[in-house]
Amino acid sequence: MSQAAVIRLVKSLSKSEKRHFKLYSRKHDGNKEYLTLFDLIDRNDFINKALLEEKFGQSHAGVSVDNTARYLLRVLTDCLIQTRVKEDDLFLLLHGMLRVHIFKERNLPEEGYRELKKLQQVAIASQEQFIEYLFYRYELNYLTEFNFPGVKENKLVEIQMKARNAIKDIRNTHEHHSLYELLKYRLLHTGKAVSEEEKKLLNDLLLSEMSIVNAKTKNSLESRKLHLLFQSSFFTNIGDYKSALKTFYQLNGLFEKNKVLWRHPPLDYHSALDGILDSLRTTGRYGEMLFYVKKLELLDDKSYPEYFRFMVRKSAMIYHLVLLIGTGELEAAVRFIENSDPALLKAYGMVDEERQCELLFCFGLTYFKIRDF
């Protein structure tokens, strides 16, 4: 499995990530068979396990490909993590948490506490509930261990209350996740609810979900997002596409108002736009699609990883073609295909096979409809 995993990972790297990896690898001493393996994967468009073992053996006879692949996988992920620390708050927080632990182990509590307080503000701003609670717990542990230096009782109680509220938020989010997971599980194993009896079987989940929403707790962005995902999935699978689309619009509005909390890259927002466009396709509302295709295209931003940008481009192309096919503009669809970037089909096919297949299907459907077999 290591060989397959490392092939997929290398094929997902952008030019800048490859360059950064080469610079990162210079810091390591000793034999660097893993760089040979990296180059073999990178330079061959279509490579599989057998071909990789054959080519690698020509340069490094007697060296285990599996062990080298495992080592390359580790070095690559370490390199990518270091890169993401500068771009993503979650990576920054997790990396910072390890730094706090090191300061504590080496008897540098003041440094650890200062680092902790800085990270705490980032966790609150980015609504990372689990990490926010952990930092409150670390802070309380520090104050207890050093006999509450300069802290009055009301301040101590205030920190304890913040920790308690963080736990409430975590539980609320967990309940939303649980219901969404149950809904997906039931739909996966029983299919779409068609009869009234099948729809009633889902009502218990809907009622439980509504009770969470109506509870007097502070709803985080994650909790509100899960609520709308649950609702849209529920309505889609009982065939109420109008309500599903309305919920997707609300989900889009939630993302638009909270751009500061987008992930890097914003996979969740991409998924929301994909859901909206899929619902518009299902209901035949082609006239509304172009607006959301344009929003999708805005995610093709240079600051995001290259694999994500190619995924965005493929999604936009799919829905452009769906729109043109759906409105009967077949000649325009053919021109659109012919003017597309040939590199789009080759790039990152291994990272998102389903999207690649859907794009190829749209190409095939276009030519089928004009009878150009």
pLDDT in tens, 237-267: 777 888 888 888 888 888 888 877 677 788 8
Q: State the Rg of the chain over Cα.
A: 25
pLDDT confidence tier of residue 32, bands split at 50, 70 and 90: confident
In this predicted structure, the answer to whether residue 58 has a pLDDT above a threshold of 90 is no
Per cent of the chain over pLDDT 90 is 35
Selected residue with higher pLDDT from 347 and 304? 304
For the ranges 45-54, 84-93, 271-280, the lowest mean pLDDT is seen at: 45-54
Tokens of 342: 């040939």
Output the pTM of the full model: 0.77
Mean pLDDT of the chain: 86
Q: How far is residue 296's CA from residue 272's CA, in Å, rounded to a whole number?
A: 10
pLDDT for res 88: 86
Q: How far is residue 333's CA from residue 296's CA, in Å, rounded to a whole number?
A: 19
pLDDT digits (tens, 9 = 90+) for 103-114: 999 999 899 999
Q: What residues contact 291, with CB distance under 8 A and at least 6 apart?
A: none
- Give me the mean pLDDT over the 280-296 stretch: 88
In this predicted structure, the answer to whether residue 217 has a pLDDT above a threshold of 60 is no
pLDDT confidence tier of residue 182, bands split at 50, 70 and 90: confident
Q: How far is residue 22's CA from residue 3's CA, in Å, rounded to a whole number?
A: 20
- For 32, half-sphere exposure in the C-beta direction (CA atoms, 13 angstrom radius) is 13
